[in-house]
Amino acid sequence: MSQILGVGLTHYPGLLVPPENWPRMLKRGVEIGRIPADLYADNQRWPKEMRAEWGADEGVGAAREHERRLVAAFKTLRRELDEFAPDLVLIWGDDQYENFRKDCIPAFCVYLFDELECRPYGGGRRPFQTTESAWGLPEDTVMRVRGHPEAADALCRHLLEQGFDIAYASETRAERGLAHSFNNTIVYLDRERKGFDYPVLPFHVNCYGNQILRAANPDASPAKAALDRSPPSPSPRRCFDIGRTTARFFLQSPWRVALIASSSWSHATLTAKHHRLYPDVAADRKLRDELRDGGFTRWGELPLARIEDAGQHEMLNWICLAGAMTELGQRPEIVDYVESYVFNSSKCFALFPSA
């Protein structure tokens, strides 16, 4: 039987740019009409924790500390990944109207490729209103990503045999190659650019569902975005079950595999009940406690409506991982849980060591 390492992390775009630019995302939200201008101007109406995080320097000091903790957590995960030495790395990530657009948006899609050229270093700059890169690299800098077509093909066949109508793709259409959830995961695990030579198997989950066309045009006003219609995401139950089935497949395979869920938790930009100003921190804390205490084994029972209400759309990636780890009986170690009201989302880093 093979060995499997579980990993949970974030692909927060802020890490692509210097942290001094991170607070600008709030102002950008006001400029495009996503955040009410009067609410932004009167921070006495913000939660007290958000006012404290904003501080006297409009969030710059908090951004630097936030970055420090994210970078430290990624270093820990990379060290554990290298010690495990997987034959391939599967990443559950979402596509925000990057490769899947109005002509076809699958619920799930596995990528089959030998190698792709990706250009990840310019993504995420627009919401932070900067042209700076955290590495000082040009936007067209190429990152070559090796695939594992043998494992991807075999996984597709197995999922189809098990009743999952899985899609697959062998090419990308986005100018940056893979969607940023996959690109950023690789970049952040190789923060020092020493190389990431593990074959990667990207596994797309349509987390955004009925918000996907909003992701296609993030500068649209809420009124205009409301005119676009799209069906919902796959259910948490389906994500949980596909994670379990994926784990069973790889457990019987010849490959040592790292299964990674890539996403932050609730997003301010998706939390309508908070006027898209700050995320649902209380809902995230509940999930953190469930992760710590073993309640993640029931995440397949979460109602999709509750996830959407909390702006936790991207948690579907983590629910795939939760299903896999439930199947394997592996328990998590929380490396860090970095909470934020100002920087769009709270971020969780977790390891599920192989038995």
Q: For residues 62 and 53, give the distance between their C-alpha atoms in angstroms, rounded to a whole number.
A: 6
Question: What is the distance, to the nearest Å, from the Cα of residue 251 to the centroid of all Cα atoms in its chain?
Answer: 24
Mean pLDDT on 42-63: 97
Q: Looking at the predicted structure, is the pLDDT value of residue 244 above 70?
A: yes
Q: For residues 117 and 146, give the distance between their C-alpha atoms in angstroms, rounded to a whole number.
A: 9
Mean pLDDT on 124-134: 82
Determine contact, residues 338/66, Cβ cutoff 8 Å.
yes
Q: Tell me the CA distances in angstroms from 208 to 108, 269, 312, one per residue in order.
A: 12, 12, 9
Q: How confident is the model at residue 217 (pLDDT cuts 50, 70, 90)?
A: low
| Per-residue confidence (pLDDT) for residue 1, from 0 to 100 | 77
Q: Looking at the predicted structure, is the pLDDT value of residue 122 above 90?
A: no
Q: How confident is the model at residue 216 (pLDDT cuts 50, 70, 90)?
A: low
- Give the range among 153-162, 207-216, 271-280 with minimum mean pLDDT: 207-216
Determine contact, residues 69/10, Cβ cutoff 8 Å.
no
| Per-residue confidence (pLDDT) for residue 12, from 0 to 100 | 97
| Per-residue confidence (pLDDT) for residue 221, from 0 to 100 | 55
Residue 139: φ, ψ to 5°: -60, -25
Q: Looking at the predicted structure, is the pLDDT value of residue 49 above 60?
A: yes
Mean of pLDDT over the chain: 94
- Give the range among 203-212, 240-249, 286-295 with minimum mean pLDDT: 203-212
Mean pLDDT on 326-336: 98
Q: What percent of the chain has pLDDT over 90?
A: 86
Mean pLDDT on 169-192: 96
- DSSP secondary structure letters along 28-85: HHHHTTSS-HHHHH-GGGS-HHHHHHHTTTTTHHHHHHHHHHHHHHHHHHHHHHHHH-
Determine contact, residues 5/84, Cβ cutoff 8 Å.
yes
Mean pLDDT on 261-270: 97
| Per-residue confidence (pLDDT) for residue 323, from 0 to 100 | 98
Q: Looking at the predicted structure, is the pLDDT value of residue 220 above 70?
A: no
Tell me the pairing of strands 88-93 and 333-338.
Answer: unpaired
What angle, 0 to 180 degrees and rounded to 10, lies between the N-to-C axes of helices 236-251 and 149-161?
A: 120
Domains in the chain, ordered, with CATH?
A: 4-352 (3.40.830.10)
